[in-house]
Structure 1
C-alpha cells in the first residue's frame, strides 16, 4: 500500500503502555504525520518529538467525523485508536466512511487479547461483548451456565452496572474480574462476585472478565419457552415459532420485517440467531409495542427497532428487508402486496394464518405465486380429571415464498 497517498488516513493502535510499546512502523507513521486525531488521553501518550498538530475528538464524534477529516484534507493524517483499530474501534468506522483503500491500520494487541493472555483464556472460544456504545442489555443474550465472557467497558461505572445486570438475570454468583489499563504501568486487577460487588469505580479503560457459573439456561435455537415473553395472548407459540423461524431461514446480517409483531417473538428470535441479524417490528397497538421493547431488552436484543403503526402505511420509508414475516393484518387491503413489493429479488416472505379469512388470503397467494403452503397442528398434554389427555391448539397455515 502506498503510504504517500495524500488521501490516506493512517490509524495507529496504541496500548496503555503508550509510545514505548509501539513498534518502529507505527512510531514512524506518527512522526511523519502532520495532524493526529485522538482522544485527550491518547494524545497525551505522545512524546514531544511528535511534532504534528494534535486534534482531540469532539463529542459526539460520528456526526462530526466527515467534516473534521475533510478540514485537514491534503495533509498527512493519523488517527490514534485503543489497541486494535479494527476490533470494535475507530478503524472500522473510518473504513465504512472512506473505504478500505484510503485507510491504513497499524494494530496493537486488542484489550481482549491482552485480557485473555492475563487470564489464560482461549480467545477463540470466549465471547467478546462491547458495551462501549451498546445498550448493556445486549449482555443478556450471551448469558448461559459455564460461559466465559469478555466485556469491553464504556466507563468507570460499567463494572457495577454489569454486576447488577448479572444478579438480576440470576447470575449473582458469577465471578467478575476487572482488568484496568492492561499493558500499562498502572495496570490493576480487581475481582468479586456479581451479587456482592462493592468495588468503587476505577479506571474507565477496562475489560471485564465474566465467568457465569450456574444460572438460568436460555436456548440459543428458536422456540424459547412461551413464558419468556410478556404478552397479552398475541404470541406465536413456541412450536409454531420454531417452524416459522426455520421457514424464515435467518442468515447473518439480514434484515427482517416482522409485520403485526404482537409480542415481538419472531423478530427477537431472528436477532438472537446471530449478533449481526437485524429486525424491525411493526405493531399498531401501542401497549404491545411497549411490550415488544421490554421483551427485546430482557432477551438481549435491545437493538430491535419498533415501528408503531398499521401496515401497509407504516412500511413506507423503512429500509429494504431481506425477509418479511407477516403475523397479523393479512386481511387488511394492500398489506401482503406491499410486503411482497418491498422485497428485493431473492427476498423471502413467510406469513402465518389461523382464521379461515386469512387462510383464504394465503391460498390465493399460493395459487398465484407458488411457494410452499404448510398446515401445522400441535397438541399439548394437559390434565383431564385425574388423567392426562391431548388438548389441540389452533392449527396454523404457513405460506413461504421466495421472489
Structure 2
C-alpha cells in the first residue's frame, strides 16, 4: 500500500534500509532479537560513543560516532546512504521520544525505516517514582533553555526532566529557589537502568551537589513557598508579572484577544508591534508546540520582551528588531497575526494580509479614533467582526469603591479565505 506521508516513494514489499534501535544502559543484553539482528546485518552503524561501546564486535559493519554537531552525519545518512546501504542507528531508549529517530524519519516514507524502541528513561523514572506516566510532564533541557521549566511550575506538579549535563540539577535547584519553589523535591537518577545506577535526592533550596554524573535524569515534585505565585496557562495573566514601560495589553483585553487568535498546537503567531511581548508570550503558554515571532522596533523593548519570555517559561519566543514590514522578508507564513501597532499604515496591513496563511486569523486592536476608523474601513472591504471592549475596574473612592473605566478598545477579527 502506498503511504501518503511526505517524502514517501516506497513500493509495496520494499525492505527498510534504515533501522533505528533504542538501547538502554543495560546495553546488548537488554536488546531484543530483532534489534540484534538489525545491528548484525548493517553495513554501517551510527551512534554515540557510549551507545557504540555497548555493542560487541558483531558482523562487518563500519562504525561511525556521531560528530558534534550531528547534522552533517544525519544529512549523510539521508542522502548518500539512502537505499544504498543498510544503516543501523543507535539511540537512547525510545528513539521517538526526544530522540534522533524524530529527525531521521521526518522526511522518509514509512516503508524506508523501522524503529525498534527500548524502554525510555522517562518510563523508567516514572516506574522508580511510582508515578502514573500519563499524569507526568516530560521536558528536555538537552540543547534547550532551562527557563522553559518556568511554564510548568505549580504546587503538586510532577515533571521528569532530561538533563543537559551534570550541572543541570544544580541549575534547576537554583531556578526553583529563585522562583519561590525552593521546597520542591529533586530526585536525580544517574545512569538510569544500568549496573551503575545511582539515586540522589534533596529539597531544591538545600541542594549542595555541584555536579552529578553527566548522564542523569531529574524527577521533580513541585512545592511552592509562601512567596510562590502559580500562574495559570489560561490567557489573561496579571499585569504585574510582566516587566513593562507602559506598552502592555491589559489582562481583560489580552484574554479576549487570545480567544480571537485561537491558538492551536503547532501554530505560529506574528506579534507585530509587540511592546512588552504579552500577547506572544501568552500565545506560547497555551501549548508547548506553539511559537511566536515578535516584531519590535525599539531595542530596549525587545530586551524586555525576552526577559518576560524567560521569566514566564517561553524562552523560545523569537524577537526581530527593526521596522515592520521590512523585517518580514524571508519568513514563513504564520497561522495568525496580531497587530498591536501601526494600524494606520496601509503597507503594514497589506503585507500582513499577504503573508498570512489561508485560513489564518488576523486580530487588530485600536485605541485611537483614527485607528478605529481604519479598522471600520477595512472591515467593509475584508469582512470579519468588529467588537468594542469596555472594561471598568473598581477602585477606592474615599471609604467606598467606584468604577474607573479603562480606555475602550475596538477589536477587529478576520479570517483569510
Category of TM-score, reference length = shorter chain:
over 0.9
Q: Does residue 1:392 correspond to 2:392, yes or no?
A: no
Matched with 2:381 is: 368
Q: Distance in 2 between matches of 1:353 and 1:69?
A: 50
CA contact (8 A) 2:16 2:114 kept: no
Matched with 2:266 is: 253
Q: Distance in 2 between matches of 1:200 and 1:257?
A: 41
Q: Distance in 2 between matches of 1:3 and 1:33?
A: 22
Matched with 1:9 is: 18
CA contact (8 A) 2:394 2:401 kept: yes
CA contact (8 A) 2:14 2:111 kept: no
Match of 2:365 among 349, 352, 357: 352
Q: Distance in 1 between matches of 2:117 and 2:192?
A: 15
Deviations 1:62-109 (A, max 9, x none): 244203554445221100000000000000010124344322110001
CA contact (8 A) 2:16 2:111 kept: no
| 2:412 partner SS | strand
CA contact (8 A) 1:350 1:401 kept: yes
> Following superposition of structure 1 onto structure 2, how do residues 104-253 of structure 1 map, counting pairs within 5 Å?
104-214=114-224, 215-253=228-266
Q: Distance in 1 between matches of 2:78 and 2:47?
A: 12
Structure 1 residues 192, 4: CA separation in 2 closer, same or farther (over 3 Å shift)? farther
State how many pairs are aligned. 403
Unaligned runs of 5+ in 2: 1-9
CA contact (8 A) 1:83 1:110 kept: yes
Match of 1:380 among 361, 370, 393: 393
| 2:169 partner SS | helix
**Deviant stretches of 4+, over 3 Å:** 1-7, 68-73, 97-101
TM-score of the aligned structures, taking structure 2 as reference length: 0.93
- Report the CA distance between 1:382 and its aligned residue: 1.1
Q: Distance in 2 between matches of 1:352 and 1:64?
A: 48
Match of 1:290 among 287, 303, 310: 303
Matched with 2:286 is: 273
User: Which deviates the most, 213-222 or 358-367?
Assistant: 213-222
- Report the CA distance between 1:372 and its aligned residue: 0.6
Structure 1 residues 270, 42: CA separation in 2 closer, same or farther (over 3 Å shift)? same
| 2:349 partner SS | helix
CA contact (8 A) 2:363 2:413 kept: yes
Matched with 1:34 is: 43
Match of 1:66 among 59, 66, 75: 75
Matched with 1:53 is: 62
- Report the CA distance between 1:165 and its aligned residue: 1.0
**RMSD over aligned Cα, in angstroms?**
1.7
CA contact (8 A) 1:181 1:205 kept: yes
Q: Distance in 1 between matches of 2:77 and 2:382?
A: 51
CA contact (8 A) 1:94 1:103 kept: no
Structure 1 residues 86, 303: CA separation in 2 closer, same or farther (over 3 Å shift)? same
Match of 2:326 among 313, 318, 321: 313
- Report the CA distance between 1:7 and its aligned residue: 6.5
Unaligned runs of 5+ in 1: none
